[in-house]
Structures are given as structure tokens and as C-alpha cells.
Amino acid sequence: MELANRHILLGVTGGVAAYKAAELARELQRHGATVQVVMTEAATRFVTAVTFQALTGRRVFTDQWDSSIPNNMAHIELSRQADAILIAPATADFLAKLAHGRADDLLSTLCLARSCPLLVAPAMNREMWANLATQRNAAQLVEDGVALLGPDSGDQACGETGMGRMLEPQDLVEETVAFFAPKALASRRVLITAGPTFEPIDPVRGITNLSSGKMGFAIARACRHAGADVTLVAGPTTLPTPRGVARIDVTTAQQMFEAVTGSLDLAPRTDAFVAVAAVADWRVSNASTSKLKKTEGGGPPALQFAENPDILASVAARPDAPYCVGFAAESENLEKNGQDKRTRKGVPLLVANIGHATFGRDDNELLIIDAQGTRTLERASKNVLAAQLVALIASRLGAS
Ligand code: CTP
């Protein structure tokens, strides 16, 4: 749970996107955070406090004159308890208040009284967002160190289309997780392969494997959260692209090889290459351009195979080789085969899946194999393991 032990004060202001804040409160909790909701008076016109109270199991605060708080210091206490304040949605009016340091209701007062980071998700009509006053206020907030999350462009509740939509709850959670992640890969470039490859036999058939791409995508996401510039070369998978990651879709091993070498040639200053893809070792060299037909008494087609390039080994052998990390799925002698593979591929670090039934699962258990020996990363979600691997890669890069 990536937000475990994080206490988030969710500030809801009076925009129509307030209804999405209910989903956001839920998602933040699903990621392990505790959520304390504070609403402006206007927000309660869109969604009731009861909704948030039921979702968070905590009393919702709306009034700075609440006489049930013994010392009348709700603004101090609420802001002191928070690891971060997230305002979603933040109206144009609330941005203006924040930019000018105004404190005329509970939420704006506790923002002013805070000692924790402030994250703000603007949501408004496109003309309001484009207005010079709003742009001035947003720029001022960025200069003051406030994290602006969005807005996005798209359909708006008012029927117009343009910039000003609040980021979706899922994206706001991603941004919040990223905000808390240590920036161990700031200004680093990382190239990652993920997923299976598909080697055609004819236009409708082919050879592939059960790799889902989840581990590679999780690593791309964690690298991005750590501040890296990430390119992800993905074999066929329907997984969504992690926010902020540049994705190149490929089908075959040969295309993956070309995408990787092309990317390295374009950006020779790549710091790390993480080969997570389950690449087919062989392709069908006599693949048919038309669908193979079953002929009476003809027997099975005679497929011939050619070896695919070893992407990882070829990157590791480059004179300008980045720090290379390989993955391995072995069905036996994990440690011995892993060490052999590490040496054979010429990479400093090899990560072996413990147990070969990891394909498609959301969790995993890993064996880290390097020149010093081996150690285990205990079973955890692929996202948690990815963050641990990123910390390890960052420490190796730092030491190089
Ligand atoms: N790999 C690669 N290009 C290939 C084959 C593998 O880049 N053509 C990379 C994988 O992405 C992974 C590592 O090499 O990081 C090990 O992959 P694996 O399939 O386990 O190794 P193989 O070399 O294919 O060895 P074997 O299948 O015989 O165990």
C-alpha cells in the first residue's frame, strides 16, 4: 500500500467536480492513506458532508466557528496532523485565495497555517482557467512551492471543451503517490522493455508467451515517480501507460530490438536499461503472408525458425552501455541459472522471479543476483517491488 501511514487532508471546494472527490477519498484510502475531509461552504452545495463522513469514517469539518472544538483551533490541529493537504477540486476562487494568502474560512485558514506540502487540483470552466488573473494566481502558487496537479483538457460540465477539467481521481492518486516518492532518479534517463513478444506464423497466428507486462509497467511507473525520464518499449499488452511515461508499442522481438537500439542512439545518455520483457528467442523465418490452410492429408506446416537478437546482451555489449538490469524466469536451479545468465548476458544485476507462475499476477517475489551474491525481496505487490528495485538501481547509479 503505497500511501500507508500517510495522513491526507482532502480539501473540497465548491465546483461541480466535487462529486469526484468522493471517489478520490475512497481511492486514497484504498492505497493505504487516512483521509480527513474539510469542505468549504460552497462545496456542501454540491455534495454533502455525510457522503465523505460515510466514506472516510471520520467527521467532516466545514465551519471555522465550530463550537464543538474545545480550543477553537481546528485550523491548527487539522493542518498539523496532515502529511499533505490535497485540494480537489480547487476552484478559481480558491486558487485566488491561496495565491493571496487569504484566510476567510476553515479550509483557506488551515492552508495558511500548514507546515506540510500543499497539492492543488484546479477544476473550472476553460475561460476561467485561461483568464489572466487565474493564470497569474496559478503561476504564483507554483513559485510558492505548491504542487499544481493538472488541470486536464476535455469535455466540461458546462458543455464546452477545453483546459480546466480536474484530473480523474485515479490520476490524482498517482500524482499523490509520485509526490511522496523519493526522487532517487531525478534527471536520469531509463529505458525499459516489458510484456511478451508475438512472432507471426501467418497473418492470424503466432507464437507468444504468458507475460502480462505488469512487472515492467510497474517499474516504468516507479522510475517515473522517482523523477526519471522513462521510455517504455512494450510488447502486445492492453495495460494502460503509466502517467508521464513515453511508450513505444512493438509486436515482434526484432521490432523491440530496433526500438531499443533506436532509442539508445537517439538518447545516448541513457543511464539504465531494464529488460523485463519476455522476448521470444526464436521467430518463424518462413512465416506465410497469407493464412495457412489445412489441406487434405497435407499434415502440419513445416515451420522453420531463426534466432532473434538478444536485446539485453547487445545493449550490455555497447561501448556506451547504460547500467543494465536483466530479468529471468527459471523453472529450476534459480540461483545457479540466474548467476550464469547474469554472466552470459554481461549485466551487473539480474532479477529472478521466484516461482514461474508469476505471469499475470499482481504480486511477486524476487531474487536479486549480483556480483556480491543473492538476496530476496519478499512477496509483495509488483508496485511495491518495483519501488524497491528502483531504489536499488538508483543506489547503484549513484555509486557509479
Ligand atoms: N532478453 C532479451 N532479448 C532476448 C531474450 C531475452 O533482451 N532475445 C532479456 C529478457 O528481457 C530478460 C533476460 O534477457 O531480461 C533473460 O531472459 P530469458 O528469456 O530468461 O533468457 P534467455 O536468454 O532467453 O535464456 P533461456 O530462455 O534459455 O533461459
The CATH number that applies at residue 206 is: 3.40.50.10300
**Number of the ligand 1 atom closest to the C-alpha atom of 337:** 29
User: Which residue among 281, 330, 356, 359 has the greatest number of ligand 1 atoms within 8 angstroms of its CB, and so is best to mutate?
Assistant: 281
Is the domain of 152 the same as that of 193?
Answer: no
CA atoms of 138 and 357, how far apart (whole Å): 49
DSSP state of 37: E
- Number of domains the chain is built from: 2
**Out of 111, 116, 158, 324, which one is annotated catalytic?**
158
User: Which residue among 252, 310, 336, 339 has the greatest number of ligand 1 atoms within 8 angstroms of its CB, and so is best to mutate?
Assistant: 310
If DSSP codes are grouped into helix, strand and coil, which group holds residue 77?
helix
Q: Which of 180, 205, 224 is the last residue of a domain?
A: 180
Residue 72 has pLDDT above 70, yes or no: no
Active-site residue, 158 included: yes
Domain span holding position 344: 189-399
Q: Which of 150, 180, 210 is the last residue of a domain?
A: 180
Number of alpha carbons in the 13 Å side-chain half-sphere of residue 294: 0
C-alpha cell at 76: 491548527
Give pLDDT, residue 356.
64
Give pLDDT, residue 158.
81
pLDDT band at 76 (very low <50, low <70, confident <90, very high): confident
Percentage of residues of the chain with pLDDT beyond 90: 83
Beta-carbon count within 10 A of 336 CB: 10
Residue-averaged pLDDT of the chain? 94
Q: Give the Å distance between the CA of 274 and the centre of ligand 1.
A: 12
Q: Give the Å distance between the CA of 210 and the centre of ligand 1.
A: 14
pLDDT band at 96 (very low <50, low <70, confident <90, very high): very high
Which residue CA neighbors atom 17 of ligand 1 most closely?
A: 328
Is the domain of 86 the same as that of 146?
Answer: yes
Which residue CA neighbors atom 20 of ligand 1 most closely?
A: 328
- Section 278-296 average pLDDT: 93
CATH number, position 143: 3.40.50.1950
Give pLDDT, residue 400.
63
**Binding-site residues, ligand 1, Cβ < 6 A:** 193, 253, 275, 277, 279, 281, 308, 310-312, 326-329, 341, 345
Q: Which of 153, 180, 207 is the last residue of a domain?
A: 180
In this predicted model, what pLDDT tens digit does every residue of 195-220 receive, in sequence order? 999 999 999 999 999 999 999 999 99
If DSSP codes are grouped into helix, strand and coil, which group holds residue 284?
strand
Provide the b/e sequence for 51-90 (b: ≥16 CB within 10 Å). bbeebbeeebbbebeeeeeeeeebbeebbeebebbbbbbb
- Section 77-101 average pLDDT: 95
**Number of the ligand 1 atom closest to the C-alpha atom of 328:** 20
Q: What are the respective helix, strand and coil percentages of the chain, to the nearest 5? A: 35, 25, 40
